Amino acid sequence: QLPPKTGVPSLEMLVRGPDVSTLLLTLNARIPHYRLRGIQGLRVRHLSKLGSAGEHLHYDAHHDPERGLGLYLFLGKNWTSVNDGHLRAHPFPFKARDIVPRFNRMVLVDSRHTMSRLMPSNPVVSKTLKPTEGWWVCLWLRGGKMMPPQEIPVPRSVMASLRFLYDPKKRLLVQRVITMDEVIESILEAFHAPNYDLKRAVNFYRTTTLRLEAAFPKNFIQLMKTHLPLEPLPGTNS
C-alpha cells in the first residue's frame, strides 16, 4: 500500500506498473538464487530540508520472512554528502558499510542476513549551499528460501571455531550479542524524546541479549568479539 502524499513522482507506476516485471526479470537473471517473486511492500523515508531523525538498527525480515531482498533507491538531485542521511548496512560477519546517498543510486540489501539503518540527516547551514531534500525509497521483494554463504574468509587459526557462521540461526544470535550496544544507541538516537515505553523496550532488549550471551561459553564470546566483524570482501568498496 502506497503511503499518502509521498511527494515522489511516478512512485505508483514504479510499484504497480509494467516496469515491475522488467525489474524482476533483470534481478532474477543477475541473482537467480534469490528466486524473487514480486513486491512485498514499500516504504519511503523523507529526508527533510531541516534534518531528519534516523532509524534504529534492525532486520527488515524480522517480522516478515517473505522479505528476501530490500531494494533502496535514493531520489534527490541536489542532495550532498554534507546532509548525511547515509544507509548503513551490517552484512554480518563483515564490518558495517555506509552507503552515501546519491541521486538514482540503487542498493540491494539481503533482508534476511543483513541489519540496516538510515542515519540521521542534517540541515545545511550555509549561505552558499541551497537547502534541499531527498527520499530513500525501499521496495521489499519476496524471495525463496535463502541459503547461507558457502565460503566465509576467516583466519585459518579460528576456522574450526567459526564454522557455526554457516548456520543462519546461530549467526543471527551471535550478531545480536555483538551489535547490542549499537542497536541500543541507534534506538535512543532515532527517538529524540525518550519516554517510559522506550526505556522499557531498551531495558528489555538489553536484558534478553545479556541472557542470550550468558548461554554461550565465555571464551567463545570473547573469541567472537576478538575476530568479528571481519573486513569487507575484496571489491565491495563504494
- Residue burial 152-183, b: 16+ Cβ < 10 Å; e: rest: bebeeeeeeebeebeeeeebebbbbbbbbebb
User: Do the beta carbons of residue 71 and residue 44 sit within 8 Å?
Assistant: no
Please give the C-alpha separations between residue 210 and each of 32, 165, 174, 203, 227, in angstroms, as whole numbers: 38, 20, 11, 10, 20
Question: Minimum mean pLDDT among 30-39, 106-115, 224-233: which range?
Answer: 224-233
pLDDT for 206: 93
Predicted structure pTM score: 0.76
Q: Could you read off the pLDDT of 127-174 as tens digits, one per residue?
A: 555 657 888 888 888 876 555 444 455 556 666 666 776 676 777 788
For residue 212, what is its C-alpha cell?
A: 542470550
| Mean of pLDDT over the chain | 76
Q: What are the tens digits of pLDDT across the range 56-113?
A: 888 777 667 677 788 898 888 778 777 788 899 888 778 888 898 888 888 888 877 7
Contacts of 54 (CB under 8 A, 6+ apart): 85, 117, 118, 119, 120, 121, 186, 189, 190
Percent of the chain scored above 70 by pLDDT? 74
Q: Nearest Cα to 104, choosing from 69, 140, 135?
A: 135
pLDDT band for position 12 (cuts 50, 70, 90): low
pLDDT > 50? residue 238: no
Alpha-carbon span 72 to 53, nearest angstrom: 18
